[in-house]
Structures are given as C-alpha cells and as structure tokens.
Amino acid sequence: MSGRLLVVGSVNVDLFTHVERHPAPGETLLGTGGERSPGGKGANQAVAAALQGAPVSLVGAVGADADADVALTCLRLAGVDLAQVVALPTARTGLAVITVGADGENTIVVIPGANAEVGPEQVQAAVDDLTAADLLLLQGELRRDTTEAALRAAAARRIRTVFNVAPWSGVDGDVLTLADPLVVNEHEAALAARELRLGSEVTAGQPVDLARALLTAGMRSVVITLGGAGAVVAHPDAVTSHPSPRVSVADTTGAGDAFTGALAARLLRGDDLATATDHAVRVGAYAVQHAGPNRPTRALTPPSPDGTSP
C-alpha cells in the first residue's frame, strides 16, 4: 500500500449484557454479562482495517479515566497510530451499552463522552497532512459539524473519503455527495434518499433501485449493506449485488464495522469498489459467527469464499 488510512471517529468502551429476548418498553428482564471491552465505530473500523494490513492512524478523544486504557487496548495491539487521539482531563471516555438477544440481534445505546469534544479544528489539522495516496474513513458517531468539516476538508484536497453514516447524523445532502462511497444499511439509505429529496416511492423500493436512485441524485458511489443478504454496490459504471455466504449467526455486534474497515483497507490497497465489497462481505460473514468482546479482531483472517474459517 502506498498510502495510509486516516480514521476520524469515536472511541468507546462497550458494556455488554445478554438476554433471552429484548425487553418491551417498561419491562425489566434479568440478564448476564457485564463485560467491558474496547468499542466505538471509529476504533472498531480502525482496528479492522489495520488487521487487514492497512497502515492506520486514528483521530479521536478519550477521557482521563480507567476506561481510556480499556478503550485503546485493541487499537494498540493492532498497531494503529494513536498520536492524534487526545486524552481530555475533564471528560469521560465514551460508553456504549449493548444488549444482545439469544438470536444474536442487538440494541445499542451510546453515551458520547469525550467523543463529543472532537471538533473541526482537530480534524482539519489531521486532514491537512494527507496526500492523494491516502484515504479518509468517517462514521456518524461524532458531532455533525466535525463530520461535515472532515468531508469538506478532504474534498478540497482531493482525498477520497469512505463515509459510513451510522448512526444517521442528519448530514446535509451536499456533504453526503462528497463521499466515495457512502456506506449505509437499508434504513440509513432511505434517510439519505430523503435528505437528497428523493420521493417516497424510491425510499420504499428495492435496495438495487434505491442505490441506483442515490447515484442519480448525485452520489459518487454507494454501498448498501443488507446483513445476511450481503450488499449492493452502485457506481457510475454499474449497480451490482454481492451476496453473503450463509453462516450460523452468534452475534451481529460489530459486523458492520468489520465490513467497513475491510472495505476501506482493500480500497487503499487499490481494489475497485466491487472487488473490495466482495471481500468485505466475507469478512462480515466471518464476524457474525463469533460471540464475545473485542469483535474487531474477528477481521484478522478473512474467511474462505463459503464463509468458513480458513
């Protein structure tokens, strides 16, 4: 790889609970777990990309508390450059409370903490050091003004940006169109379509049609992730489907981050978007077969084409 991947994103500690089923509103259930492990979409994707062989630097923030050491553990082990991760003495490290059901599906509540202090100035300084060979990777867990500043700064320097707008952060349509690609699930794709003023018939359509419509509305390229069904890719030359191998699901937590980190690593390596997506789908399929903390490390070795461990 001739360049490096700059990830601007969140750094959290994940607190895991496990339940037979997810509670209804107002209901109390007994669960198990209580493990605390490294997390945050920015950190997860940085680790996943580094374990795929990409040279990765992370821009972010943690608090001056015990959780900071936990949050940075996997990043350090993966060799991610943390020179631009600041420790803030008056903030707490971000926290995500994750509840995993017996079927492997999860719900997540994120408390930003120090992540909310990552501002446009910190990001601008980092982007100013990038070259045309580098790649920028963003998610939706930082402040909206910070995310938009990063996208605009990268566009001004002709730096390609992968934007995984998860969770949806209400980014303006003109900023969305700076992504190449925009990486979204079906729900986020519909929200992006509304932001780009596409009609309800589009947002209610099939993923292939939605991806094509987003491209027509000004997106440079789009990847819509479909969970166990794989992904759809739209770019000026084609709209293609990329199925996932069928696997037994143990836990879906972090699978999207493993996918996006692997996608960015392959784009940095020089793969075209379709080829990079094929690989990322396999990594995501491998990730969901394993339960437990430290999920980004699942991307260390990608599975064989049928989704099994090599």
The catalytic site residues sit at: 257
What secondary structure letter does DSSP report for 249? -
Of 11, 4, 120, nearest in space to 76 by CA = 11
Q: How far apart are CA 249 and CA 286, in angstroms?
A: 9
Here the tokens at position 274 are 């379709």
DSSP 50-111: HHTT--EEEEEEEESSHHHHHHHHHHHHHT-EEEEEEEETTSPPEEEEEEE-TTS-EEEEEE
Q: How far apart are CA 97 and CA 33, in angstroms?
A: 11
Q: How far apart are CA 92 and CA 111, in angstroms?
A: 10
Is residue 60 a contact partner of residue 8, using CB atoms and an 8 Å limit? yes
Burial class (CB in 10 A: 0-12, 13-18, 19+), 199: exposed
Angle between helices 255-269 and 273-287 (to 10 degrees): 150
Left, alpha or beta for 307 (phi > 0: left; psi -120 to 50: alpha)? Answer: left
Q: How far apart are CA 118 and CA 286, in angstroms?
A: 32
Q: How far apart are CA 139 and CA 106, in angstroms?
A: 19
DSSP 166-187: -S-----HHHHTT-SSEEEEHH
Q: What share of the chain is helix, strand, coil (3-state, %, to 5)?
A: 40, 25, 40
